Homo-oligomer: A and B are copies of this chain.
Amino acid sequence: MRTSRLEAFSDGVLAIIITIMVLELHVPDGPRLADLADSATGFLTYVLSFVYIGIYWNNHHHMFQLVRRVNGTVLWANLHLLFWLSLYPFTTAWMDETDLARTPLVAYGLNLLAAALAYYLLQLAIFRAEGADGLLREAVGRDVKGKVSPLIYLAGTLAAWLAGWPALVFYAVVAAIWLVPDRRMESYVAEHGLTE
């Protein structure tokens, strides 16, 4: 099975998730700057979630450059990832509307954690589908970022439980370490002279 339709479907879902969240941004009640300021929390979390979905799209894109064939397990592992990502608008909105209360912050952290684990499982499913000589396995290497991210999310979720909104710092840190472009696969593609 080729990867083109899996990529197209994932692109569609991610495009919708990233765009749908703007519907949760409540239009200010009045015409003044102070009215806009009431939307500030919403704006901040919108940016954060936009960046997360952007990162996932980016990594997904890099990853599938090195995948030649997929099977049914990979399709479901991919849907599983999309499921957790599809909940971002929900947990983001809950966090906003409660002004960053503790439980919604924990729920958001758990959502981020679940998506990170789902991404990891998707990678494993691809490794298995491609066998021992898969390109992705070699390109991913030790995958430090992929292993550290869930730990930081977990720490952030605990911090949310204990201390509330400062947990957002943990969540933002993960975004920051991924925003640095992941050159592993680009360089792997370049070194090995691979073209799609």
- Interface presence of A104 (CB below 8 A): yes
Contact between B5 and A61, CB atoms less than 8 A apart: yes
Q: Which residues of B contact A32 (CB under 8 A)?
A: 103
Contact between B15 and A86, CB atoms less than 8 A apart: no
Q: Choose the segment among A89-97, A116-124, A131-139, A146-154 that binds chain B (4+ C-beta atoms closer than 8 Å).
A: A89-97
Contact between A102 and B16, CB atoms less than 8 A apart: no
Q: Which residues of B contact A22 (CB under 8 A)?
A: 20, 86-87, 89-90
Copies of this chain in its oligomeric complex: 4
Contact between A5 and B11, CB atoms less than 8 A apart: yes
Q: Given contacts A22-B90, A27-B90, A61-B5, is CB(A72)–CB(B182) below 8 Å?
A: yes
- Interface presence of A12 (CB below 8 A): yes
- Interface presence of A186 (CB below 8 A): yes
Q: Given contacts A9-B11, A18-B13, A87-B22, is CB(A31)–CB(B76) below 8 Å?
A: no
Residue of chain B at shortest CB distance from A69 = B195
Contact between B181 and A30, CB atoms less than 8 A apart: no
Q: Given contacts A31-B104, A33-B103, is CB(A72)–CB(B186) below 8 Å?
A: yes
List the 6 closest A-B pairs by CB distance, nearest first. A72-B181, A12-B15, A31-B101, A31-B98, A16-B19, A54-B79
* Sample of 18 further A-B pairs with CB below 8 A, known A18-B82, A23-B89: A1-B186, A5-B11, A9-B14, A9-B15, A9-B57, A9-B61, A12-B14, A12-B15, A13-B18, A15-B15, A22-B90, A31-B101, A31-B103, A47-B83, A54-B79, A57-B79, A58-B76, A58-B79
- What would 14 A/B residue contacts be, using CB atoms closer than 8 Å? A1-B65, A6-B61, A9-B15, A12-B16, A13-B19, A22-B89, A27-B94, A27-B97, A33-B103, A50-B86, A58-B72, A58-B76, A62-B72, A72-B182
